[in-house]
Amino acid sequence: MEYEIIKGVATLKMNFLTTTTVAALLWLFGNWARRVMPALERYCIPAPVIGGFVFAMMAWFLRSANILVFQLDNLLQTPFQLIFFTSIGLAASLSLLMRGGKLFVLYLVVACWLIAIIQNGIGVVVANLVGVHPVLGVMAGAVALEGGPGNAAAFGPMAEKLGVVGATTVGITAATYGILVSGFLGGPTARWLIERHKTPIATAEDLELNALQASLDKERQEDVISTANVVKMVTMILVMMVIGGFGAAKVKAVTGFDLPHYVGGMFVAIIFRNINDAVKLVRLSPKSVDLIGDVCLGLFLTLAMMTLKIWELANLALPLMVMLLVQTVFCVAFCVWPLFKMLGGNYDAAVMCAGMIGHNLGVAPNAVANMDAVCRRYGVVVTKAFIIVPLCGAVLVDIVAIPNIVWFINYFAK
């Protein structure tokens, strides 16, 4: 860590170790803030977002007042990012689709995959209408709203590398907006659907989904977090990251298409997971993979938040709000009209619509919180919703959403 005066302004230079240490402390601060301020936990604001955003706001204030400028070295942000997305790939078992039944597939295809494509299309159109770069519309579309702060922090640097100024800040700001708004809209929308259509407050049993839940529970019960399992999973993830990085470089060399390395690692992991499901090459440890992914996500996201250039939003605030308002109206309207009927037009469908608003505007915990609030209000738990929505909205959505995002960014950055 070095302190010096540059152009008359005090500058604090932090090396990668110091920067990462500060990130870890900010993550702990975020966890503390969630405990002492229940509203943060109630609306599912991630601890890394809280800690990193507080630092970014402080850095912005000190910079604007010419008091102090921070120069951060986020060297470890990319490795943490690669590990997190590769761990997500290891959780994406396509065989689950075969066990989940028609409702599971319908929700995944329509409420996750199709919405991701439409959100990006809307983002590009509205961005053009308000006079900003179309890729900023993508950042405020499926990147932030379907993918949350993690995807926003991951795709922002890619967009900026292609010349889109402010992409990371727009993406993470949009993701934070989505997390907040989705918590307010999911429950009331479900309640309106139930009362508008006078749906009976009852849930239908689904034997296929019950069998799916039983298989997931069995996999978890037989798993333990141990040093051997963690080391084995870390080694597998590292190997997949290397292969994925090599594959991404080859794709770019052959096609000119900029495929981020972490996307390559994630898809190598998806391929391996589904081959392994069929031939049982290795016994995976889902709990260890989750632990590794959670730690890396926390540090990666905190580092990304710390380095936000909030001052870049000055000229983008109004266009960004217009883009987000249109996305919000679309998401709620899609639930109220086609999706509710497609899912059955009953109490189960209303609860799932609350979940859909949760993860299509915010993140998976928002979806669960929304559904829990509705089920508590009416006293009937829809078990199938708590199986389908988190699994589709947090894991399997990326199978289509991420390639779709990569295509939109590459195409419209030209």
Residue-level pLDDT at 83: 94
pLDDT tens-digit series, residues 288-302:
999 999 999 899 989
Under DSSP, the state recorded for 11 is E
Residue-level pLDDT at 216: 73
The Cα–Cα gap between 41 and 51 comes to 14
> Looking at this protein, which amino acid is placed at residue 378?
Y
Residue 54 domain-assigned? no
pLDDT tens-digit series, residues 108-143:
999 999 999 999 999 999 999 999 999 999 999 999
Residue-level pLDDT at 287: 92
Residue 42 domain-assigned? no
Beta-carbon contacts of residue 293 (< 8 Å; ≥ 6 apart): 83, 84, 87, 88
For 203-260, where are the E strands, in sequence order?
Answer: none
Residue 226 domain-assigned? yes
Contact 311, 64 (CB under 8 A): yes
Give residue 406's region: left, alpha or beta (phi > 0; psi -120 to 50): alpha
Residue 352 domain-assigned? yes
Residue-level pLDDT at 96: 67
pLDDT tens-digit series, residues 145-160:
999 999 999 999 999 9
Number of domains in the chain: 1
The Cα–Cα gap between 296 and 290 comes to 10
Residue 63 domain-assigned? no
Looking up tokens 């922090």 gives 153
Residue 386 domain-assigned? yes
Record the pTM: 0.87
**Structural domain boundaries enclosing 136:** 82-412
Residue 55 domain-assigned? no
Residue 9 domain-assigned? no
